[in-house]
Amino acid sequence: MDFANQDSAKEIAARVVQAYENKTPLAIAGGGSKSFLVNAAAENAVELPVSGHAGVLSYEPTELVISARAGTKITELRETLSAKGQHLPFDPPAYTSADTLGGVIACGVSGPARPYSGAARDFVLGTQIVNGRGEILKFGGEVMKNVAGYDVSRLQVGACGSLGVLLDVSLKVLPEMQSRETRCFELTANTAIGFLEQLARKPLPLAASAVLPAGVADKVSVLVRFAGSSAAVQRAVQDEGGDVLAEEQQFWSSMRDLSHSFFQSPDGSGNLWRITAPAALPLDDFIEAIPGLQPQNCLVDWGGGLRWVRSAASSDEMQEAVASLAGQVVQCGPLGVQAYGKRQPLSRSTETMLRLQQRIKDSFDPAGILNPGVFGYEV
Amino acid sequence: MHSPQTHQGNSSSADLQVDKARQQRRLELAHELQSLVPEKAILSRPHELTPYESDGLTAIKQTPLLVVLPETVAQVQAVMRWADRQEVPVVARGAGTGLSGGASPHPDGILLGLAKFNRILELNPGGGYAVVQPGVRNLAISEAARPHGLYYAPDPSSQIACSIGGNVAENSGGVHCLKYGLTVHNILSLTVVTASGELLEIGGESPEQNGLDLLALFTGSEGMLGITVEIKVKLLPVPPLARLVMATFSSVEDAGAAVGEVIADGIIPAGMELMDNPAIRASEAFAQCGYPVDAEALILCELDGLEEEVESQIARVEEVFKKCRAETQHVAASDEERLLLWKGRKSAFPAVGRLSPDYYCIDGTIPRKALPQVLASMDKMSKQYELPIANVFHAGDGNLHPLILFDANKPGELERTEELGSKILQLCVEVGGTITGEHGVGLEKINEMCVQFNSATIEQFHALKAAFDPKGILNPGKAIPTLQRCAEFGAMHVKGGKLPFPELERF
């Protein structure tokens, strides 16, 4: 399908053409709900509002594909799919009521299901974008398997709008899980991650896992979510035991949307840090490596791959520590207080990678007008 | 693939001169390479080069100047640094089972064979991954992981022979990818050698990396962006139980509808394959697997998981098939029978090959709902071109493999076959699909790229390629057509201002 004829798409493309000719930097503005995950745009950047380009374009449940304009609200997508018993398996967050599909894809955010169901990138089938020359380009498509041309659609995921303005996105969707249950296990910090690794080796219907401070010294709560057919979930909880977590849906939503109390009441200087790290890294080693980290200020998601930390450490200290763990860090500030995040600069990559990324950026955006500064190319 | 027409008269002496110049160049390059790789790693004699003149797309044959078989990453880097300096084209090759000519040699370049990179470097059951070299066979990974109760999910039909490096280059799928995904969903990180010989780490231990995520971009890039020298693959727990339902239908349309209904019921089978009557007959004759040869259409539907789950889903699938007017249904009674029924499907290509001197495999993907329309149109075209077609279909994900039966010894039949193949791919694009689901563009489908993408998009592809390979030495001429080529192709297929098959609905 060709959606380029949409007036709002043409309007966006025209704005980019103009900016390209005048070398005006643009700050792509969607719902504004994920600014704490990205750097502030260059000061002279002019806002390019895109959330008006919204609406579901096509959805056929038996094809397992939904296509929507980038300004479509995540909450609207969820409702549309849920009405047909389907969902987005990467379970994207809605931090506010304004979160858009474009923002989720551009920032590449996935919910707690990520390690077991896949990341945002894994479900993108096609995109239509405006590149930095103002050209409307279409990559991928609306079918499950497609290897024609380079996979530029998935390259957009997490690129923070630095390679193009997202117009439309097609995603693979799947049937909703028939049944869900969450079990809680009390463990020590040095055994929690190994416990999750053991579970992942078994053929269980795992859907999410987290480690929370238990409020008791030396103890943590390990939460494991099983989801799938009722038969499989029943079998799994029977075999694995643990305590039942009531209202499990609310709990995982609060992890996904960062509405859990852990995120709402940061201690100390109030800095919240989002750290992705090798999932296998034991929790006690991690706590020791992060400057000034108290066990009650660390929350683990993604089976160990994502670790939220509250700490008063400086940016440099934290980046240094996380780099030594082969991880990545974004300083998110106290939520709702600090408008923009601070990403680990790209300069921590190798020279070869740095040059390559800059050349890729140039190939899409030769004038460097798309979201300058947001992603951290300027090093 | 068509040899260029030479002028009449002194063609043989002109050819001879070209041959002489090539031989001279061959010796020069071989001499230079001797300081970079062991002598035995350089193949230059005609009988040594012949096995490399084509990949699985045997209609295209081309001898490379040299074949180089490096054994270490350092040697690959040295060869690439040299090729970059000398601007010599380099084509990487794994097991050579690709079906689109992606590993077809360049006449003025070297073929970089990675067969010697055949070791599994690390098997980490606790972490659920393996680190492997690109020449490791796809099936060998699952065989090595099996004692730990793990396996590597993507299973292309050629998995006995195809290499994991080639799988990365083509983003290979398989019969189980509806549930378990493609290569891109099952790899964690890559080590690649760039066009200028530098080592690059793509992805890493952490689930997210700094900067752009290049892993998906690199996967399926057909050797155009770099040489993969190490791959970290995801290993999954082997499902405790797998069961297979075989159902027959009186029409392919009914079978196609049944596939949609299974999904509508909320079931994602591990695999769901559809075959038409010619494919059923061919496979049964070849594998004697117990397919009913008088069925118009056959579905193989596999469910896997915990025992309780599989049993309840089998019952639901049987119910759905019954509602969709299945003629017969049979659940494989044993694992042996299940594997035998799969063997029939997995050998469909060679099976069809026995019915006909040659066959040509197409690899379009279509929205599943377009299946009846596409089959009806293909039937018309098949009659018009007087070439029979057998269809196997990865029905769950819409990937259609029409196999055109032809005889290359009959004058003009190969050309007619290629034209028919091209028409089928264009039809796939028209119904909202794509020209290649899993075999790649290579040389084979380069013209059809012009149908699927507009000029600005093709230019963006070229710019992206240049970011990785500024001198254009990696697999030049593959995957992405030049705009000039598109102009020529366009001129050809709308000849006389008339589109072929005016009866077809377009867009």
Amino acid letter at A337? Answer: V
Residue at which a domain ends, from A109, A140, A175: A175
Q: Would you tell me which residues 18-57 of chain A have a C-beta closer than 8 angstroms to some C-beta of chain B?
A: none
- Looking at the DSSP bridge assignments, the partners of residue A179 are A228
Share of chain B above pLDDT 90, in %: 85
Residue B11 pLDDT greater than 60, yes or no: no
A130 has a chain B CB within 8 A of its CB: no
Pick from B190, B112, B99: nearest CA to B440: B99
Q: Is it true that domain B13-113 has CATH number 3.30.43.10? A: yes
Contacts of A81 (CB under 8 A, 6+ apart): A59, A66, A87, A88, A173
B432 touches chain A (CB under 8 A): yes
* Nearest alpha-carbon partner for B163 in B263, B230, B253: B230
Please determine, for the modelled complex, whether the ipTM score is greater than 0.90. yes
Cα–Cα distance for residue pair A362/A354, rounded to 1 Å: 12
Which residues between 274 and 313 in chain B have a beta carbon less than 8 angstroms from any beta carbon of chain A? 305-309, 311-313
Q: Which residue has the tokens 């990678």?
A: A353
pLDDT at residue A316, rounded to an integer: 92
A290 touches chain B (CB under 8 A): no
Question: Do A158 and A23 have their domain in common?
Answer: yes
Contacts of B418 (CB under 8 A, 6+ apart): B1, B59, B360
Is A152 at the interface with chain B, CB within 8 A?
Answer: yes
Element (H, E) at B227: strand B227-234
Does residue A188 sit in the same domain as residue A162? no
Q: Please report residues of B whose CB lies closer than 8 A to that of A131.
A: 460
* The pLDDT of residue B495: 36
Which two structure tokens, joined as six digits, stand for A318?
A: 């934290």
Query: How do the pLDDT tens digits run along chain A, 379 residues long?
Result: 444 446 899 999 999 999 999 999 999 999 999 999 999 999 999 999 999 999 999 999 999 999 999 999 999 999 999 999 999 999 999 999 999 999 999 999 999 999 999 999 999 999 999 999 999 999 999 999 999 999 999 999 999 999 999 999 999 999 999 999 999 999 999 999 999 999 999 999 999 999 999 878 789 999 999 999 999 999 999 999 999 999 999 999 999 999 999 987 655 556 899 999 999 999 999 999 999 899 999 999 999 999 999 988 999 999 999 999 999 999 997 766 667 898 888 777 788 999 999 999 999 999 999 999 998 765 3
Per-residue pLDDT tens over the stretch B389-422: 999 999 988 999 999 999 999 999 999 999 999 9
Q: Are residues A150 and A219 in the same domain?
A: no
Mean pLDDT across B289-316: 95
d(CA A317, CA A321): 6
Q: Does B147 touch chain A (CB under 8 A)?
A: no
DSSP-assigned beta bridge partners for residue B242: B304
Fold type of domain B120-237: 3.30.465
Q: Domain for residue A224, yes or no?
A: yes
The CATH code that applies to domain B241-350 is 3.30.70.2190
CA–CA distances in Å: residue A346 to residues A312, A323, A342, A375, B294: 23, 12, 12, 9, 62
Rounded to the nearest angstrom, the minimum Cα separation between B480 and chain A is 7
Cβ–Cβ gap A328/B210 under 8 Å: yes
Listing DSSP states for A354-375 in one string gives HHHHHHHHHHH-TT--BSTTTS
| Shared-domain flag, residues A187 and A334 | yes
Q: Which residues of A touch B260 (CB under 8 A)?
A: 62-63
Same domain, residue pair A234 and A109: no
Q: Tell me how crowded residue B367 is: count the other CB atoms within 10 A of its CB.
A: 21
Domain for residue A2, yes or no?
A: no
CATH of the domain at A148: 3.30.465.10
Q: To the nearest whole angstrom, how far is the Cα of B411 from the nearest Cα of chain A?
A: 31
> DSSP secondary-structure letter at A101?
H
Domain-located, residue A40: yes
Same domain, A165 and A183: no
The total number of structural domains that make up chain A: 2
Strands B364-365 vs B389-394: parallel, antiparallel or unpaired: unpaired
Count contacts between A and B (CB, < 8 Å).
258
Residues pairing with B299 in the sheet:
B247, B274
Inform me whether the C-beta atom of residue B494 falls under 8 Å from chain A C-beta atoms: no
- For residues A195 and A334, membership in a common domain is answered with yes
State the residue range of the domain holding A243. 179-342
Q: Are residues A144 and A256 in the same domain?
A: no
Q: Domain end: A153, A175, A197, which one?
A: A175
Regarding whether A133 and A73 lie in a shared domain, the answer is yes
Q: Cβ contacts (< 8 Å) between A149 and chain B: which residues?
A: 441, 449, 452-453, 457, 461, 479-480
Q: Which of B150, B201, B433 sits opposite A143 (nearest CB)?
A: B433
SS3 category, A170: strand
The average pLDDT across B342-358 equals: 89
The per-residue pLDDT for B355 is 85
Structure confidence at residue B14 (pLDDT): 79
Distance from C-alpha of A184 to C-alpha of A96, rounded to nearest angstrom: 28
Q: Where are the domains of chain B?
A: 13-113, 120-237, 241-350, 358-368+380-389+406-497
Contact residues on chain B for A108, CB-CB shorter than 8 A: 208, 213
In a domain, A258, yes or no: yes
Q: In this structure, are strands B110-113 and B90-93 parallel, antiparallel, or unpaired? A: parallel
Helix%, strand%, coil% for chain A, nearest 5 = 30, 25, 40
d(CA B182, CA B472): 28
Domain assignment of residue A374, yes or no: no
Strand, helix or coil for residue A155: helix
Q: What is the dihedral of CA B419, B403, B461, B471, to 10 degrees?
A: -90
Same domain, A56 and A154: yes
At B354, the pLDDT band (50, 70, 90 cuts) reads confident
Q: Report yes or no: B238 and B197 within 8 Å, Cβ to Cβ.
A: no
Helices of type H across B171-224: 177-180, 215-218
- A244 near B CB under 8 A: no
Within an 8 Å CB–CB cutoff, is residue A336 touching chain B?
no
| B207–A136 CB contact, under 8 Å | no
Using only C-alpha atoms, chain A has a radius of gyration, in whole angstroms, of 21
CB atoms within 10 A of CB B13: 9
Residues A255 and A325 in one domain: yes
- Picking from A248-257, A261-270, B2-11, B284-293, which range would have the lowest pLDDT averaged per residue? B2-11
- Residue B4: pLDDT above 90? no
**Overall residue count recorded for chain A in this entry:** 379
Q: Indicate the residue among A175, A191, A224 that finishes a domain.
A: A175
CA B441 to chain centre: 9
Please give, rounded to a whole number of angstroms, the shortest distance from the CA of B431 to a CA of chain A. Answer: 9
Determine the residue of chain B that is closest to A61 in CA distance: B264
pLDDT, tens digit, 9 for 90 and up, residues B64-88: 999 999 999 999 999 999 999 999 9
C-alpha to C-alpha distance for A235 and A245, rounded to whole angstroms: 17
> Is residue A377 situated within a structural domain?
no
Q: Are residues A158 and A208 in the same domain?
A: no
Looking at the complex, report in whole angstroms how far the Cα of residue A205 sits from the nearest Cα belonging to chain B. 9
* B463:A364 CB<8 A: yes
Q: Which structure tokens are listed for B377?
A: 């149109």
**Residue A25: predicted pLDDT:** 97
Q: How far does B81 lie from chain A, in Å, by closest CA?
A: 14
